[in-house]
Amino acid sequence: MSLISPEFKLIADWIEPTSHVLDLGCGDGTLLNYLQSTRQTRGYGMEIDPQKNIQAMMNGINVIQSNLDGQDLINYFDPNSFDYVIMTQALQVVRRPDILLDHMLTIGKQIIVTFPNFGHWKMRAQLLLKGRMPETDTLPYHWYDTPNIHLCTFNDFEDLCEEKDIEVVARSVVNNQHQSNLGIRLMPNLMGEVALYKVQRK
Amino acid sequence: MTESIGIVTPKTFKVDQPLQLVSGAVLPQFELVYETYGELNSDASNAVLICHALSGDHHVAGYHQDSDKPGWWNDYIGPNKPIDTNKLYVVCSNNLGSCRGSTGPTTLNPETGQVYGSDFPIITCRDWVNSQNLLRQHLGIEQWAAIVGGSMGGMQVMQWAIDYPNSLRHAVVIAAAPKLSAQNIAFNEVARRAIMTDPDFHEGRFIDVGTTPKGGLALARMLGHLTYLSDDMMGAKFGRELRSESLKYSFDVEFQVESYLRYQGEKFATKQNFDANTYLLMTKALDYFDPAAEFDNDLSQAFAQTQAKFLVVSFTSDWRFSPARSREIVRALLDNDLDVSYAEVESEHGHDAFLLPNTHYEGIFRAYMQRVIKEASQ
């Protein structure tokens, strides 16, 4: 199992003990396993990758192989089935993040998402000064092989929440070591590299 | 996956008490033939039951003396294989109504002294599970560590989880469906008509007459085979390849795929000597399987009392029991907040994929059975 990332620790802080949790794009199940042992949660992971499915199963996770671009969430689960639906670093790879958000908010009372910020100054600088698509530690891909097809900035995401009547319950903006600092607190969209959002229907 | 269990010998479990069947009929006494592999541990917590599919039997792994034909799931059961016989005690019983040793249409009816033939009563999935449950008690097993089955075997697994919720910890349902579709039943009906309209069928009393409806049975098997394979797999294996160099413009076998199907059908009816009445019984049991029926057609309700944890597996090119059918099962299990994992394995081999080597399938199966083993040894 991978080491517990600072991001997962931050997420665990937001989870009430013994909650019912669904983790979308659960990978090898590290987060769910961590939540099960530290927060006594129960629930399921969903993951499309066969290899990661096997790893998640080895980690003792209930994993349902599924494609988040489909209708699986609402086909499998009734409204309000989960206390939390979590998706870490995957919003940007799905075909319609807006529709997925709706589905997550249907089956979950609260949702927690994390994603990289395309508004970070390094991105802006590369595009502005070099005239090239940015490649950074947070987003280490070429424009042609990136799985990230719907990158957004924190401002973009919050605009979408506004439009959809989604309330931001909590937000944590950090650098790529998952630390916060004064700059990030003052200018999150310019200085923050990763954001964790906890949101719910208004 | 080179290791095998080696030589195995079937055993027989005799029951002298009557078995009440779902149809209302009663079997005054019966026998179940079964095989076991590995060792039952001291607290009998490592026993795994394997349920076989339509034309399968109790010979699931290893070899019989004087035979080089391995059991039908030899790829997945044995030392260090996903169902690891170093750790687990594996039991596979031959279904009632079979022609491979358990009481069925080819065995003697104690009341008449003649073979049962068409007098053998209609059997359902629930009857199989009830008879397997007697075997469980006979073997001194309070709770199966897991029950595992593919296709018709997967249906028995579900029936077990519904009817005997405390008698199993894990349920592994592979390439199955919660009930047959109209199309599935239609295929079965055509297969049965092929058998029953064969002039050698003699209304099911063909053993008394000394014949077998080979032609009808072969046809039934050809049809069955078609539904087990995928279009892609047949295309890749045979394409439109011809038997000889030029077309003859006759009704002889022209294409390789025709030759293959005829061979499979004939092999089943003659070499394997499969009993036609058994084929009728097994397909009918499939048709009847519908655990949701007595729960207002609500599959979620059918699983409401279930305690087992589930692994459900489907195969992408399986059109007989497609992944969508497995997702119906998953959905019903999720409705009950049960522990469930689901894998949709990429394969071009159609329904037959559940019997064949496949890296993803093996990985999932192994990972899940590791969990079963871990719990059994605690």
CB–CB of B160/B54 below 8 Å? no
Task: Decide: residue B111, CB within 10 A, 0-12 exposed, 13-18 middle, 19+ buried.
Answer: exposed
B341/A62 Cβ within 8 A: yes
Query: B-chain residues within 8 Å CB-CB of A58?
Result: 367, 370
Find the CB nearest B342 among A20, A55, A65: A65
State whether residue B370 sits within 8 Å of chain A by CB: yes
A62/B363 Cβ within 8 A: no
State whether residue B342 sits within 8 Å of chain A by CB: yes
Interface test with B, best of A36, A49, A53, A59 (most B CBs within 10 A): A53
Helices (H), ranges, B46-201: 125-138, 152-163, 182-196
CB–CB of A56/A45 below 8 Å? yes
Q: How far B142 CA sits from the closest chain A CA (Å)?
A: 25
Query: For residue A2, what pLDDT is reported?
Result: 57
Work out the percent of chain B whose per-residue pLDDT is above 90: 90
Q: Taking all residues of chain A, what is their mean pLDDT, rounded to a whole number? A: 92
Least confident of A111-125, B116-130, B197-211, B302-316: A111-125
- What is the rounded distance in angstroms from the CA atom of residue B135 to the CA atom of residue B211? 34
CB–CB of A169/A202 below 8 Å? no
- CB atoms under 10 Å from CB of B362, counted, come to 17
Q: How many A×B Cβ pairs under 8 Å? A: 50
A53/B364 Cβ within 8 A: yes
Bridge partners of residue B171, in order along the sequence:
B147, B310
CA neighbor of B314 nearest in space, from B159, B151, B155, B187? B151
Q: Is the dihedral of CA A183, A185, A188, A194 positive or negative?
A: positive
- What is the rounded distance in angstroms from the CA atom of residue B182 to the CA atom of residue B162? 24
Mind listing the pLDDT tens digit for each residue in B2-41?
Answer: 578 999 999 999 999 999 999 999 999 999 999 999 999 9
CB–CB of B289/B312 below 8 Å? no
Query: For residue A138, what pLDDT is reported?
Result: 82
Residue of chain B whose Cα is closest to the Cα of A78? B335
Residue with structure tokens 């790829």?
Answer: B75
Query: For residue B108, what pLDDT is reported?
Result: 95
Q: How far A27 CA sits from the closest chain B CA (Å)?
A: 14
State whether residue B298 sits within 8 Å of chain A by CB: no
A78/B370 Cβ within 8 A: no
CB contact residues (below 8 A), chain B span 311-330, against chain A = 327, 330
CB–CB of B105/B278 below 8 Å? yes
Query: For residue A185, what pLDDT is reported?
Result: 83
Strand locations in chain A (E): 20-24, 42-47, 63-65, 82-88, 108-116, 166-174, 194-201
B340/A50 Cβ within 8 A: no
A75/B363 Cβ within 8 A: no
Query: B-chain residues within 8 Å CB-CB of A44?
Result: 334, 340
Q: How far A189 CA sits from the closest chain B CA (Å)?
A: 39
CA neighbor of B349 nearest in space, from B340, B361, B365, B336? B361
A76/B331 Cβ within 8 A: yes
Q: What average pLDDT does the segment A54-81 reach?
A: 95
Q: What average pLDDT does the segment B202-217 reach?
A: 96
Tell me what ipTM this predicted complex has.
0.92
- What is the rounded distance in angstroms from the CA atom of residue B214 to the CA atom of residue A176? 71
So which residues of B are the catalytic ones? 151, 318, 351
Query: B-chain residues within 8 Å CB-CB of A63?
Result: 341-342
Query: A-chain residues within 8 Å CB-CB of B331?
Result: 75-76
